[in-house]
Amino acid sequence: MSKLTGVSLSPNAPLDRRNTFRVSVRAAWLAEIRDATAIPEVLALTRVKNLPFMVLGEGSNVLFTRDFDGLMFAMTNRGIEILEDDGRSARVRAQAGEDWHGLVRWSLAQGLCGLENLSLIPGTVGAAPIQNIGAYGAELSETLETVEAYDREAGKFMRLNREQCGFSYRQSVFKQQPDRWIITAIESRLRRNAPLKLDYAGVREELAAMNVSAPTAKDVSKAVCRLRRRKLPDPAVIGNAGSFFKNPVVLSGQADELRAAHPDLPIFKAPDGKKLSAAWLIEQCGWKGFREGDAAVSDKHALVLVNHGRATGGQIWSLAQRIRDSVREKFGIRLEPEPRIL
C-alpha cells in the first residue's frame, strides 16, 4: 500500500466488485483517490507512470474482456455543496466520487429540479459527463455548467464549460479521449421552478398509476424509479450494465423507409434525424430472453445483456457482436455499444 496522502494504491487488485457485470478480472494497479489534489503525484510514481491508464467509476458502463495491465484510477472524493443561490436557481458542485442517484436525491431534498428524469441511473458523478447520461427525455448536458478535470496531456487541472465538453447523444470529449481526462467534480445549474419533462413514453402513464394529477419534480423522480425498477434488472441481483446498445440515429428518409416496411417500429425525434428503438430491433431478431451459458439477454428488456454468474467478459462481448450482426442483416442498421469495451 502507498503512503501517499489521500490515496490508496494497491497491486494486482480484483475488479469483480468494481464492475456491474461482475466479470472476474484484475488491475495491475488500483489507485483510490480520496483527494483530487494528489492526482499529479500518483501519476508521477515511477512504478506506474508508463503503464496503460484508465478511470473507473462504479464500473456500470464498462465491459472487461480481460485483465487490465495498467493503472486504474477510482475517484472516491466526496462532497456536495451549493456555491450560489439567488432564490430562483442554484449552482451546485458535486465531487466525482459521489453516487449519481445520491446527487439526484440530494438536489430534490433542497427543492431543486432538473435531474429528476435521470433518477436511479447507476454510476458516479464523475462518470456522468463521459456518457452525457440521459433518460426519459432529459440529458445531463441540459443542466451541467462546468466540469473540473485533470488534463494528463497538459499536466494541470482544468475547468471546461458546457461547449468545451463537446456533448452530444451519449458522447463527450471525455469519451473521445478517455486516457486524457480525469474528472474530479461537476457544477450544475438547477432551478427551483422549471417545466417538468413528462412526454417521454411511460412517464405520464406511471404518474397516473400513482394517482398524481399535479406532479412535482419528486413525483417525476419516483415515477422514473418505478419504471426503471420494473423494466431493468437490478445489477445488485444480476450482473449487467443497463442498456448495452445506443438507440441508433438515422436520416429521416431511412426512418421513413423502415417505418413503411415495419409499421410498429418506434421512432423518435432527434437533432440529426430520427432515433430508432434499439430494443425493438433486437427483440424482432428474436434475442430477448436468449441465454447461452451464463451470458444472456434479459427477459425483461431486450437492450440489456446480463451475466447469470460465471460468464466472462469475452462471452458477453461475443453475444453482443452476434446481436449486432443480426440487426444489421435484418434491418441494415449497425448498433453501437454504450459501455466502454476493454
List residues with catalytic annotation.
170, 243, 338
* Contact criterion met (CB below 8 Å) for 28 and 69: yes
Query: Alpha-carbon torsion 277, 232, 67, 7, what sign?
Result: positive
Helix H or strand E segment including 183:
strand 181-191
Question: Helix H segments across 245-304?
Answer: 252-261, 278-284
Residue position matching grid coordinates 483517490: 33
Q: Which residues contact 14 (CB under 8 A, 6 or more apart)?
A: 24, 25, 26
Q: For 207, what's the count of Cα atoms within 13 Å in the CB-facing half-sphere?
A: 19
* Contact criterion met (CB below 8 Å) for 65 and 317: yes
* Contact criterion met (CB below 8 Å) for 150 and 40: yes
> What distances in angstroms separate CA 248 from CA 267, 279, 325, one per listed residue?
10, 10, 14
* Contact criterion met (CB below 8 Å) for 247 and 200: no
Q: For 150, what's the count of Cα atoms within 13 Å in the CB-facing half-sphere?
A: 20
Cross-strand partners of 93: 81, 187
- CA 199 to CA 201: how far, in whole Å? 6
Q: Number of helices (H) and strands (E), helices first, in the chain? A: 9, 20
